[in-house]
């Protein structure tokens, strides 16, 4: 595959590797920020129930950008699209590092997410657009290694950076690789106007409808536990989200120059692959949010320790990646996908029994199981979704496929956050009732000294005692709430396996209906 002697072939491989570097930084950014969310929260004074927006803002912006990948590839060509995206991503990283408040950080995260949203689908589309079929396996492996290596090293790198320097360096580390990847790809891929087609205008109305739907959905899901699911505010936001999504679909289908080809969904395998991608995003982003949330707020670990604990998932994922790549070319993708999703669900459900004392030792097995499953949940559905599409739809299809994974992550984070804080309120009230009833076991479990509780039992708490007990109750209430969120992720992953019964077994070359 690498034996071509003409310089163009080598330039394509070098340019593609640099594109993978840009994708690596975009994936790494999500991982290292997730590990250090508690540190960022403490530094900027972010309320615990608002912490999720640091990640949600990034993912939502990515979702808006991803459908534009096909349009932007046709308009700019793959080379200039990548250069523009990595340049904006690097600039936004500088802005995130310079942020002094929550609103400013979220604003830059939106810009960063919008730029990063085109990097991952651009790389996967490049596999099919830059290389002939005989070289696509090697290109897929290179991209897969980059995609796997980022979450492997992300937790420990994020924790080490935050603890050794400051959280600002979580974003500053993107600057030099971003410049190298952008300028390098611009040089090595010169003359490769791959994917560039006729100029077509951007449908600003469709884009506005998509953004409106996503923002309304995120805010509605976030506000539901606070105001209630039947509150006019929540129902109104969800109605706006539904109307925006419907309007976007209608506008895109009737447009002569759509920003994304929704007709990709006419292929049954592509649709099922997107459903699986959505569920994978739900569980994947959900698990990388729940672990640092629990370890930071319940176990009170620092960023480096959180990264050390979370390293298990990434290492297992890296070790099993070659097995998944080997099997993906030789085993029925339906069987591999079912194996991956069932294994991933088991890994999620193993985390539903956490207690206030759960730490590294008890978290090893669930992480190993989840890490071993991830590549089996990613590679077969990717080929299932994109392998049957004609070349003209690959860029759009790749964008939609990755959009669904990020959409699953954004919706998952919102629902998980809603689940945690609604369940925590109920659990907190139950613990408070047990304490008022004089339950010594509950008092000791949440950290109140036995003797102190016995002395105070039966007497009204003064202000000092109340302030001492309140954080203990709040921390203890988070444990069953987090366990409920793990259960939600696991059950949804199990249900996704049912979609495999509708997958077509015909080879990609088959054109029968």
pLDDT in tens, 299-352: 988 888 888 898 898 889 888 888 988 888 788 888 999 999 999 999 999 999
Residue 407, pLDDT score: 84
Cβ-contact 79, 186 below 8 angstroms: yes
Other C-beta atoms closer than 10 Å to the C-beta of 492 total 19
CA distance 182 to 177: 8
Return the residue matching tokens 């199981």: 369
* The token pair that represents 497 in the structure block: 């396996």
The angle, 0 to 180 degrees and rounded to 10, between the axes of the packed helices 360-386 and 268-297 is: 160
CA distance 468 to 466: 5
Q: Helix, strand, coil proportions of the chain in percent (round to 5)?
A: 80, 0, 20
* The token pair that represents 504 in the structure block: 């077509």
> Is the alpha carbon torsion for 397, 400, 403, 405 positive or negative?
negative
Cβ-contact 126, 13 below 8 angstroms: no
Residue 465, pLDDT score: 66
- Cα torsion at 79, 81, 87, 89 (round to 10°)? -130
Q: What burial letters (b/e) apply to 364-383, b meaning 16+ CB within 10 Å?
A: eebbbbbbbbbbbbbbbbbb
Backbone conformation region of residue 93, classed left if phi is above 0, alpha if psi is from -120 to 50, else beta = alpha
Cβ-contact 130, 194 below 8 angstroms: yes
Task: Please state whether the predicted TM-score (pTM) of the whole model is above 0.85.
Answer: no
CB under 8 Å to 104, separation ≥6 — which residues? none
Give the count of alpha carbons within 13 A of 114, CB side only: 14
- E strands of 336-455, at which residues? none
Other C-beta atoms closer than 10 Å to the C-beta of 130 total 20
Residue 80, pLDDT score: 86
* The token pair that represents 187 in the structure block: 């040089």
Cβ-contact 356, 479 below 8 angstroms: yes
Cβ-contact 94, 30 below 8 angstroms: no
Give residue 440's Cα distance to chain centre: 42
Helices marked H in 298-332: 303-328
Which positions of the chain have pLDDT values less than 70?
1-8, 70, 148, 152, 191-201, 395, 458-465, 505-513
Q: Which of 66, 68, 65, 40 is closest to 53 using CA atoms?
A: 40
Return the residue matching tokens 């975009």: 26
Cβ-contact 156, 307 below 8 angstroms: yes
Q: Which of 51, 50, 59 is closest to 30 using CA atoms?
A: 59
Residue 194, pLDDT score: 56
Residue 352, pLDDT score: 96
Cβ-contact 88, 182 below 8 angstroms: no
Q: What does the chain come to in residues?
A: 513
Residue 63, pLDDT score: 78
DSSP-derived letter for residue 257 is S
Other C-beta atoms closer than 10 Å to the C-beta of 9 total 15
Cβ-contact 52, 81 below 8 angstroms: no
Q: Tell the burial category of 411 from Cβ atoms under 10 Å away from its Cβ (0-12, 13-18, 19+).
A: buried
Residue 512, pLDDT score: 36
* The token pair that represents 501 in the structure block: 């019964």
CA distance 1 to 135: 6
CA distance 261 to 68: 10
Measured CA distances, 100 to 58, 103, 167, 206, 243 (Å): 18, 9, 12, 34, 36
Backbone conformation region of residue 195, classed left if phi is above 0, alpha if psi is from -120 to 50, else beta = left
CA distance 332 to 453: 61
């Amino acid at each position: 595959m690498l034996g071509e002697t003409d310089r163009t072939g080598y330039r394509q491989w070098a340019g593609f590797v640099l594109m993978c570097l840009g994708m690596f930084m975009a994936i790494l950014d999500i991982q290292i920020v997730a590990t250090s969310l508690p540190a960022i929260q403490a530094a900027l004074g972010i309320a615990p129930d608002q912490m999720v927006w640091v990640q949600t803002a990034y993912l939502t912006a990515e979702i808006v950008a991803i459908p534009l990948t096909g349009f932007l590839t046709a308009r700019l060509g793959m080379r200039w699209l990548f250069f523009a995206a990595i340049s904006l991503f690097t600039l936004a990283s500088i802005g995130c590092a310079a942020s002094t408040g929550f609103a400013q950080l979220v604003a830059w995260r939106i810009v960063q997410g919008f730029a990063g949203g085109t990097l991952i689908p651009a790389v996967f589309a490049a596999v099919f657009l830059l290389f002939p079929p005989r070289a696509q396996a090697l290109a897929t492996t290179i991209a897969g290694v980059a995609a796997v290596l980022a979450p492997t090293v992300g937790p420990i790198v994020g924790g080490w950076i935050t603890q050794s320097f400051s959280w600002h360096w979580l974003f500053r580390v993107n600057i030099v690789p971003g410049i190298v990847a952008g300028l390098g790809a611009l040089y090595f891929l010169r003359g490769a106007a791959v994917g560039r087609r006729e100029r077509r205008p951007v449908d600003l109305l469709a884009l506005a409808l998509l953004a409106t739907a996503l923002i309304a959905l995120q805010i509605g899901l976030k506000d539901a536990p606070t105001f209630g699911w039947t509150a006019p505010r929540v129902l109104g936001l969800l109605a706006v989200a539904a109307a925006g999504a419907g309007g976007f679909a209608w506008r895109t289908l009737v447009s002569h120059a759509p920003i994304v080809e929704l007709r990709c969904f006419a292929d049954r395998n592509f649709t099922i692959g997107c459903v699986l991608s959505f569920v994978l995003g739900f569980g994947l982003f959900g698990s990388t949010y729940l672990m640092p949330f629990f370890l930071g707020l319940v176990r009170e670990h620092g960023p480096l320790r959180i990264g050390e604990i979370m390293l298990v998932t990434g290492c297992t994922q890296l070790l099993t990646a070659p097995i998944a790549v080997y099997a993906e070319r030789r085993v029925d993708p339906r069987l591999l996908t079912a194996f991956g999703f069932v294994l991933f669900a088991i890994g999620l459900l193993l985390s539903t029994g956490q207690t206030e004392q759960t730490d590294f030792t008890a978290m090893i097995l669930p992480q190993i199981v989840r890490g071993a499953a991830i590549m089996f949940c990613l590679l077969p559905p990717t080929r299932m979704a994109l392998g049957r599409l004609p070349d003209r739809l690959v860029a759009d299809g790749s964008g939609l496929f990755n959009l669904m994974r990020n959409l699953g992550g954004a919706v998952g984070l919102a629902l998980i956050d809603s689940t945690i804080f609604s369940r925590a309120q109920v659990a907190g009230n139950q613990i408070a009732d047990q304490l008022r009833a004089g339950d010594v076991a509950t008092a000791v479990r949440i950290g109140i000294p036995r003797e102190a509780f016995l002395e105070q039992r039966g007497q009204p708490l003064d202000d000092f005692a109340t302030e001492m007990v309140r954080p203990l109750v709040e921390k203890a209430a988070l444990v069953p709430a987090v366990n409920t969120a793990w259960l939600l992720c696991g059950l949804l992953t199990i249900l996704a396996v049912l979609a495999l019964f509708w997958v077509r077994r015909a080879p990609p070359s088959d054109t029968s209906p």
